[in-house]
A and B are shown apart, each in its own frame.
Chain A
Amino acid sequence: MTAALFAEQVLNGLQLGVMLFLMAAGLTLVFGIMNLINLAHGSLYMMGAYLTATFQQATGSFFLGLLLALPATAVVAMLVELVALRQLYDRDHLDQVLATFGLILFFNELTRIIWGPSAYFLDVPEVLSGTVEVLPGIPYPAFRLAILLAGLAVAAFLFFLIARTRLGMLIRAGASNREMVSALGVDIRLLYTLVFGLGAALAALAGGMAGPILAVQVGMGESILILTFVVIVIGGIGSVHGALVAALLVGLVDTFGSVLLPAAAAEMAIYLLMALILVWRPSGLFPVNA
């Protein structure tokens, strides 16, 4: 592998990594703070992609479409939280898995009824349709670079939000002791709803940005969901910076695994990585309650 090709594959790995981070950040917050296993997180990713495509066709602009899809998906998610998930917080994880698996089926069928069974069209915005020569002789799709940059920007924003703002403080407090937070007069239920909406908006951002690259189709959330769970387990459940490190790691291992290893071994690479890391650190790289 030449240095130039190596650099290109690193970019590919990082781009997959930030995509996974956007998914994992929401999932790990919901899991870590609300103690809820949400299998339907991939459905929010799918909703983000479909809504971006729909708004893009209505407005004629991809960016406007994406911008509208984020709050729209968040609203859908908060409704789901109010109607369905609130009943699940006090129940055990098995009930949550069953109920949110049901939500996956619900969202898949709903999507099929609204948008039809065939894949839906969403194109790369005109300004980002070309390639950029990142290194001499290596044209790289401009849109993928934009995903990489957007993902890093969102990561920075999240760290600022959690470390420096009042909402972030409440999120952290809610994670360590929710009874105490409610005793201090904070509406913990409202906080949960907001966190869930935030996670959904991040998933929608990932889905909307993936739309132009991937087939926007029913079930698109399931393949990324599995990788996302691997990421939050490696990173340490509930830890956002753990999710970032783990997402980039998984992105790189998956990318290099698929080009360096034979097909069967490549499919196992990230699971081997997870197993090795869990042997070394059973609670993940950055355990929250260490």
Chain B
Amino acid sequence: MFMKRALLVTAAAALFALPAQAAEKVKVGFIATMSGPARALGQDLLDGFKLGVEKSGGKLGGLETEIIEGDDQLKPDVGRQLADRMVKRDQVDIIAGVVFSNVMMAIAGPVTRAETFIVSANAGPSALAGEMCNPFFFNVAWQNDNTHEAMGQHVQDAGYKRVYLMAPNYPAGTDALAGFKRFYKGEIVGEALTQINQPDYAAELAQLRAAEPDAVYVFYPGGMAVNFVKQYAQAGLKEEIPLFGPSFLLDQSVLQAQGDAALGLYNTAFWSQALDNEANVEFVRGFEEKYGRLPSPYAAQAYDAARLIDSAIRRVDGNIEDKDAFREALEAADFQSVRGPFRFNHNHYPIQNYYLRKVVKDEQGRLVNSLEGTVFTDHADAYASECKMK
């Protein structure tokens, strides 16, 4: 009797002590904005991610992969409910995606407290790069300020002395201008913050012309980008004062709607479809074949998110239950990024290059961004020093 019980106990102890076995399946909760005016961004993110999963034959790191999709509707509370449900009911291993920083700020806390990994494919709020950095949070895109910092540097290098700034009046808008000013040291002759989703910029453009700047930097994403770039050209300002922007102003999700008004404008990004590396050539061709359109930077980021997850699962031999090992595997970033050199900083944000791009027409007459040079090499964000994580 005693022996029997002891045996049972030993057996049970052995069961529990068994080294965590390789999981058979990985569940990814993919949250993005899939409705409203920003839907195109969420769609690009999801399409890029799916293509990245397909590249592994539909199995991330060799594990059967289930993607649970969720639409945050650009509402932080909806995003948070989705994340809660995915973590508690669906028991996902990783939450990926997320377009907007305000949504990310709402879900980062509860998800990381539940010790579930987040791989942000877009949103890169400064708080999560700095003092709120987290062992369970990774950003595979950029920190919000980076793209603007790169253009600040370029405008500085190009020798423009008097710059006029414009952005929508919300946190990402003011952050954008702060990022630009971190590297641009010339005179700011004017700064206009406009209403978010404002359709018409005629009044602000008249003020801008009167201030007589020698260059203009603006941050407008999505529909606002279409409105602004068209109106800037229609006002005859495009020939008069050079306009610069981040890639969001002129990426593949808005270029066709902007038309020739965008032609010849310069912008900065961490990636271009013209980058000549093996992973990127394969990605661009694959995306175009599958979806019949050219990829935007959003699609490239999400593709890389899938590739990163794939590499990390491979590195731990499918043993994703061992969170510490899996974290180290993610930190290693052992994958071929479509952007070329890529590694994580200690705050889990990228250290990478930023490129200067120009809107041109390709052989088929489509508007695309050509590669014009490298602004930053191995650039990290400004908040990493506030992150206590090793």
Chain A interfacial positions (CB closer than 8 Å to B): 1-2, 5, 8-9, 12-13, 15-16, 112, 117-121, 123-124, 129-131, 139, 141, 143-144, 210, 212-220, 223-224, 255-256, 258-259, 263-264, 266-267
Contacts and interface: CB of A to CB of B under 8 A. Distances in A.
B70 interface: no
Given A2-B210, A119-B254, A119-B257, A213 B230 contact: yes
B106 interface: no
A130 B223 contact: no
Nearest to A216: B257
A195 to B, nearest CB: 27
Q: Which of A16, A120, A223 has the most CB of B within 10 A?
A: A223
B231 A213 contact: yes
B169 A219 contact: no
A220 B223 CA distance: 9
A57 to B, nearest CB: 12
Contacts of B39: 112, 117, 218
Contacts of A5: 206-207, 210
Contact of B195 (A123, A219, A259, A267): A267
Contacts of A144: 202, 234
Interface in B190-226: 193-195, 197, 199-200, 202-204, 206-207, 210, 222-224, 226
B227 interface: yes
B172 to A, nearest CB: 15
Contacts of A117: 39-40, 43
B379 to A, nearest CB: 30
A224 B199 contact: yes
B234 A129 contact: yes
Contacts of A13: 203
A208 to B, nearest CB: 15
A112 B35 CA distance: 10
Contacts of A263: 169, 193-195
Interface string B245-264: 00000000110111110000
B234 A217 contact: no
Given A118-B253, A121-B259, A258-B204, A217 B226 contact: yes
A219 B227 contact: no
Contact of B199 (A139, A223, A258): A223
Interface of B: 36-37, 39-40, 43, 169, 193-195, 197, 199-200, 202-204, 206-207, 210, 222-224, 226-227, 230-231, 234-236, 253-254, 256-260
A143 B236 CA distance: 12
Contacts of B193: 263
7 contacts: A1-B210, A118-B254, A118-B256, A217-B223, A220-B199, A255-B203, A264-B169
Contact of B234 (A2, A121, A141, A259): A141
Contact of B235 (A1, A2, A139, A216): A139
Contacts of B204: 258-259
B234 A215 contact: no
Contact of B200 (A16, A218, A219): A16
A214 B235 contact: no
B294 to A, nearest CB: 12
A131 B258 CA distance: 19
Contacts of B227: 213-215
Contact of B236 (A8, A123, A131, A210): A131
Contacts of A120: 257
6 tightest CB-CB pairs across the interface, nearest first? A215-B226, A119-B257, A215-B223, A131-B236, A12-B202, A263-B193
A130 to B, nearest CB: 7
A266 B234 contact: no
A259 B199 contact: no
A130 B236 contact: yes
A259 B207 contact: yes
A266 to B, nearest CB: 7
Contacts of B210: 1-2, 5
A141 B200 CA distance: 13
Contacts of A219: 36-37
B257 A118 contact: yes
Contact of A223 (B43, B197, B235, B253): B197
Nearest to B207: A259
B293 to A, nearest CB: 9
User: Of residues A2, A12, A258, A264, which shows the largest number of chain B Cβ atoms within 10 Å of its Cβ?
Assistant: A258
Nearest to A16: B200
